[in-house]
């Protein structure tokens, strides 16, 4: 009986030490994860493109010419410290072959690591890259965002930053004037007046739930994509039915800074 009690005691002590070691291990893993997260910096498309030393354009798949496939392709990228691609995720593309063409091209890009002022740490870069696949004169072409009509200055930064500086795409100014707010009834009344209902949430949120007829263009892609894709739109109503009202208001101000005058925010 005593032996059993003694054995049980030693077992309990061992379990206690094991639990302590496990707790320390978890703590170390958490600290390592936090440290790793701090070394990842999200930057603008313009910054990635300006820093790139090797840029390979996607090629329009000839097999798609008969289908006349066209549209925008957007990729989320993560760069290694040596400047090569660690990961390419195609977020949007008009055809799987176009998605494959974008991934193939981007995996050959080299983008030197971003230097953060006042820090000696090395940072990985994450961001998004955009390409437009079009049919012109019967041929398939691929354009960068700054080659699209009305978007030539999208990657022009304010001032004269050195290569490698992280600078957001230029927006002429986010107006502080109040944005008109309307409700669902007002939107229904304006339904036949050419109003575009715009949802600025992330794609997965839009897929989960959205208003019928809404177009999805994520907030962080507005500076790059808004002018070439929304230029002909007469009036834009930003759907705030499922989104954060603060983000809706910021989106409206970004669009106004890009030259869109007829803007409204649709409240719940």
Instruction: Record the pTM.
Output: 0.78
Give CA–CA dist 195/73, Å, rounded. Answer: 25
Residue ranges covered by each domain of the chain: 1-38, 42-147, 180-266
Of 255, 261, 263, 160, the closest CA to residue 217 belongs to 255
- For residue 225, give both structure tokens: 């994509």
Can you tell me the distance from the alpha carbon of 84 to that of 73, in angstroms, rounded to the nearest whole number?
Answer: 20
Alpha-carbon distance of 232 to 248, in angstroms, equals 21
* 33: pLDDT strictly greater than 60: no
CA dihedral 108→92→81→119, nearest 10 degrees, is: 140
Report in angstroms the alpha-carbon separations of 233 from 176, 185, 194, 217: 22, 21, 8, 14
C-alpha triplet 202, 44, 136: angle, nearest 5°:
80
Is 14 or 114 the better-scoring residue by pLDDT?
114
Fold of 180-266: Oxidized Rhodanese; domain 1 (3.40.250)
- For 249-261, write each residue's pLDDT tens digit: 899 999 999 999 8
Q: How confident is the model at residue 22 (pLDDT cuts 50, 70, 90)?
A: very low
Q: What is the mean pLDDT of residues 65-79?
A: 96
Q: Which fold, 42-147?
A: TolA/TonB C-terminal domain (3.30.2420)
């Amino acid at each position: 009986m005593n032996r059993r009690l003694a054995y049980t005691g030693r077992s309990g002590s061992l379990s206690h030490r094991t639990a302590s070691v496990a707790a320390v291990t978890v703590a170390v893993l958490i600290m390592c994860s936090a440290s790793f997260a701090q070394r990842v910096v999200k930057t603008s498309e313009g910054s990635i493109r300006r820093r790139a030393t090797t840029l390979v354009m996607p090629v329009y798949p000839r097999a798609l010419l008969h289908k006349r496939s066209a549209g925008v392709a957007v990729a989320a990228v993560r760069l290694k410290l040596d400047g090569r691609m660690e990961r390419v995720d195609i977020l949007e593309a008009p055809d799987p072959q176009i998605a494959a063409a974008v991934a193939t091209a981007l995996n050959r890009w080299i983008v030197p690591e971003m230097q953060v002022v006042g820090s000696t740490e090395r940072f990985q870069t994450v961001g998004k890259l955009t390409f437009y696949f079009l049919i012109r004169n019967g041929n398939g072409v691929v354009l960068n965002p700054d080659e699209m009509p009305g978007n030539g200055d999208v990657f022009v930064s304010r001032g004269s930053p050195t290569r490698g500086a992280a600078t957001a795409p230029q927006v002429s100014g986010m107006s502080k004037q109040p944005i008109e707010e309307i409700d669902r009834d007002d939107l229904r009344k304006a339904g036949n007046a050419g109003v575009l209902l715009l949802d600025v949430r992330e794609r997965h949120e839009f897929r989960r739930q959205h208003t019928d007829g809404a177009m999805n263009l994520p907030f962080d892609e507005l500076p790059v994509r808004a002018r070439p894709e929304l230029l002909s739109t007469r009036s834009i109503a930003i759907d705030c039915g499922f989104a954060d009202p603060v983000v809706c208001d910021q989106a409206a101000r970004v669009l106004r800074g890009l030259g869109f005058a007829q803007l409204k925010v649709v409240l719940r």
